[in-house]
A and B are shown apart, each in its own frame.
Chain A
Amino acid sequence: MTSSLPTRRSLLLGALGGAAALLLTACGSSGSATGASSADGSQITPSMQAQSGPYQGDSLGRTFDKPAVTLTDTSGKPFDLVAGTRGKAMLLYFGYTHCPDVCPTTMGDIAVAVSKLPKDQQSKVDVVFVTTDPARDTPSEIRTWLNAFNPNFIGLTGDIDTIIAAAKSVGVYVAAPVKGQEPVHGAQTLGFLPADGKAHVLYTSGTTTAVFEHDLPLLIKGVTP
């Protein structure tokens, strides 16, 4: 993925000319946010400002509140997402366990980055995985799946309509699984800051471990983009 980006970007730059150069650079990695929309209907896109900022992920250019939902954790207990992760940085991803490529790749890249943080920092970030296929992903299956990455990752399930609404509130497109079709996973991971509990940074599918490694200490420190 990473190696193809410069090519695509330079092609775009060539086509659009010098004036667009700063803008495209600021738009960051893969710009594909197809189908993603926020609660108010606006498209979720990286910041269009021509500045890079401290993060390697894409600055949202706005913020999203942490979804105010209570879901079920992998021990089967209710989990209030706002209260349960208060005061910590958080990465939020919507996906499903029977997903061969993007979901394990995303969680794996995050897991490697988290494992490289100093121990005291690791406890200051919550990685939250919300299933988009709750009919199939039981709490114990989610636990087994997450344990392959990091036993401290939080796995949540619940009513699919609640999950869809929670995803939509942070600009992530999720749809109810349709029989005979592959379920949908979020096209992006959101980075929340510890102090305000709001999402400020966006990581599209294909974001590398190196980017998470770079950004996690900033999120933990509460640096605003």
Chain B
Amino acid sequence: MRRRASALALAAALPLVLAGCGSSGGHGSADAATGGARLSVTGAYIPLPSMPDMAAGYFVLHNDGDRAATLTGVTSPDARSVSMHQSTASTMVDLPNVQVPAHGTVTFARDGRHLMLMGLHPAPKLGARIELNLRFEGAAPVTVQATVQPLTYQPGQ
């Protein structure tokens, strides 16, 4: 119910964003009316977590516009918290924000930049869609449905 309510609220406020999301999983886009940054997301997925209380999220961020934008944070109605991290050789560090250059692509992928989703509720199931809301500085927010994939899923294989 809560999820439907927030979706309705979004639908009223951001028709363009939702139109851009379409129905196919893993794709979302927003066209900022005010600026030159045009952000879209492809290939969003969440490996079915081995622990129910935490998961990683991966996607590819595209900016087809003439101006850079900055990803300042991600939220999800299905997660208690979502943070952006960068894996290093032996640990990971917080990413407060991520620059997306004009006509550039930024990849969140295994062993690199990733989302850490804590407290997912309900517990993710294979094939489920988990909504991610990406907030930007210099561009409108983007909403995308990330698909829950097998734990060992690798895009393009």
A interface residue numbers (CB < 8 A to B): 1, 32-35, 97-102, 104-105, 108-109, 111-112, 141, 144-145, 148-149, 173, 182-187, 204-206, 209
Contact = CB atoms under 8 A, between A and B. Distances in A.
16 contacts: A1-B109, A1-B110, A1-B111, A35-B90, A100-B55, A100-B114, A101-B85, A101-B111, A141-B51, A149-B152, A173-B90, A182-B92, A187-B90, A205-B87, A205-B89, A209-B154
Contacts of B90: 34-35, 173, 184-187, 205
Contacts of B49: 100, 104
Nearest to A96: B91
Interface of B: 47-51, 53-56, 85, 87, 89-93, 109-112, 114-117, 151-152, 154
Given A1-B111, A98-B51, A35 B89 contact: yes
Contacts of B152: 108-109, 111-112, 149, 209
Given A111-B152, A205-B90, 15 more contacts: A97-B51, A98-B51, A100-B85, A101-B112, A102-B87, A104-B47, A104-B49, A104-B56, A104-B151, A105-B111, A108-B151, A141-B51, A184-B90, A205-B89, A206-B110
Most buried by A among B54, B91, B93: B91
B154 A102 contact: no
A205 B86 CA distance: 13
Given A1-B110, A97-B51, A148-B50, A102 B151 contact: no
A62 to B, nearest CB: 20
A149 B151 contact: yes
9 closest pairs, A vs B, by CB?
A148-B50, A187-B89, A108-B152, A100-B56, A206-B111, A100-B116, A187-B90, A101-B114, A105-B110
A149 B47 CA distance: 12
A184 B89 CA distance: 9
Nearest to B55: A100
B81 to A, nearest CB: 12
A1 B58 CA distance: 13
A98 B49 CA distance: 10
A100 B111 contact: no
A103 to B, nearest CB: 9
B51 A101 contact: no
